[in-house]
A and B are shown apart, each in its own frame.
Chain A
């Protein structure tokens, strides 16, 4: 199949449509506005619906309503907007509504900047909204990878009845890369496959089939049962859905951990260092929730130290440390705000660490 040069935001939007998404609710915010722009032109062509909401708060609640009918629904935003969506995301998680949410991260806190950042890692994987819940959270490192993940994201969301979050950043959406776009998936709401969805019920029908999309369990025992069911699902996801990449880690003395765009920068650093004779590799979580703890621990066997690199204060660093549980030193380099770590910085840090080994 032929490769097409596409901008990240447009490629991800098109992939969502190819995966069956027919409803987009969103609100403009830099650096992801090209996604709603693309959707506003493209959705009518596929008999879909683009609707510009009055706020991110409203947009995620529109997602809730449409997803509750069984449709494949998507919303996108960037960090401050995703903060506004957290209420609705928690409700989607509680009501077990499959949907896809894109966070094209920019610098924070507050208004921060409009440049790329990874400052929302904690928000994405440690909660965000209220209550005990998780989202299957993918952190693609290339446009093609984002497309490929999008093609199965709805299947995962629907299998587990869990919202899926894409944790991308401004660079991912603003850059262009040659990509291969998959064929269109035909998706129709099947009430048999989604018996929980509001697909039509009237008095006299089987009472168990009436849709009640809800996250309220006023009786504490019932809420505990509901939470235990959610936790059981999260356990299954942890078991089945972890994704990661090991790059030149087999004989590595130092393993770099990084996700998303930063992992690409780190990969360049690994190649340069390897040419210089340094035994260094990269471990890249593709799912940041569930985090591949055991897989990182396994990859780090025989390795002497880990360098975690992030475009934040070192948020994933906590998960990296949990994975190796103090067995080897874990160092960090990176920047808060919107400054990307450079290959030169990573190389300098690895050299320094090597001397201390």
Chain B
């Protein structure tokens, strides 16, 4: 009997704490498979954020560091400068990266830091129970925008991938989603490419992955995926925002 599928050993056996229908599980698996396929085993350091994926250090089966809220790109910078030959990645949500950690992510990109950021955007603060994020869509109801996000009062949602693509030091930026098989495959290929660029010493790479939050969106997993397709993808268009390697 031949083995046709095995869970990658780069994911630990610890059960995920994520809610049913949340996309973190899929994204974790893709990242872990790419870590395995990178061939960098024994020389990988990951940085976990503050947010729903705060326990990522328990799931990614490599050396891990837990950063303060938003500071993962700075921590990753310290790691990469100390171990320039290693594969270093951060895994961050939209509160972490697009709000409290904007300075750190912009300047990691600005310096062309040779790290890879996996940015999971679900348009809400998940761990603290569904508050408005900088990425929350206009009109979206959250526990701190009970009347729906008002653009006149708190601005329109920030598009981090488009913004970071403008930073000269950014090498490769792509926005993906894991809402269907084709997009899951695209996401994996994007992460793989980002790791490859990093190991070639190219520069800062970020893969944004749109994700659902059924619990805090108040939808079931199927409805949440539909909401992502009908609301998030039109505002946050998928695709390559910058790829200096393809130019």
Q: Is B234 an interface residue (CB 8 A)?
A: no
- Separation in Å of the A46 CB from the closest CB of chain B? 14
- What residues on B are CB-neighbors of A61 within 8 Å? 67-68, 71, 74-75, 78, 104
- What residues on B are CB-neighbors of A213 within 8 Å? 64-66
Subset of 5 A-B contacts with CB under 8 Å: A23-B81, A61-B75, A66-B78, A87-B68, A202-B62
If A58-B103, A95-B66, A201-B62 touch, whether A88 touches B71 (CB-CB below 8 Å) is: yes
Distance, CA A88 to CA B107, complexed state (A): 18
Q: How many residues of A contact B (CB 8 A)?
A: 40
Selected contact of B57 from candidates A49, A63, A199, A214, CB within 8 Å: A214
- Separation in Å of the B37 CB from the closest CB of chain A? 13
Distance, CA A67 to CA B74, complexed state (A): 12
- What residues on A are CB-neighbors of B64 within 8 Å? 198, 210-214
| A210-B63 in contact (CB<8A) | yes
Q: Is A223 an interface residue (CB 8 A)?
A: no
| B9-A68 in contact (CB<8A) | no
Q: Is A100 an interface residue (CB 8 A)?
A: no
| B66-A215 in contact (CB<8A) | yes
| A216-B82 in contact (CB<8A) | no
Distance, CA A58 to CA B74, complexed state (A): 5
Q: Is B61 an interface residue (CB 8 A)?
A: yes
0/1 string, B10-44, CB within 8 A of A gives 1: 10000000000000000000000000000001111
Interface SS majority for chain A: mixed
If A201-B42, A203-B9, A215-B66 touch, whether A68 touches B79 (CB-CB below 8 Å) is: yes
Selected contact of B83 from candidates A62, A63, A69, A87, CB within 8 Å: A69
Distance, CA A40 to CA B88, complexed state (A): 24
Distance, CA A71 to CA B77, complexed state (A): 14
| A69-B66 in contact (CB<8A) | no
If A198-B45, A201-B42, A212-B64 touch, whether A57 touches B79 (CB-CB below 8 Å) is: no
From 40 to 58 in chain A, residues with beta carbon under 8 angstroms from any chain B beta carbon are: 49, 51, 53-55, 57-58
Distance, CA A200 to CA B75, complexed state (A): 17
| B43-A65 in contact (CB<8A) | no
- What residues on B are CB-neighbors of A214 within 8 Å? 57, 64-66
Selected contact of B78 from candidates A65, A199, A211, A212, CB within 8 Å: A65
Q: Is A138 an interface residue (CB 8 A)?
A: no
Distance, CA A132 to CA B76, complexed state (A): 26
Q: Is B158 an interface residue (CB 8 A)?
A: no
- Separation in Å of the B165 CB from the closest CB of chain A? 19
- What residues on A are CB-neighbors of B106 within 8 Å? 54
| A62-B45 in contact (CB<8A) | no
Q: Is B54 an interface residue (CB 8 A)?
A: yes
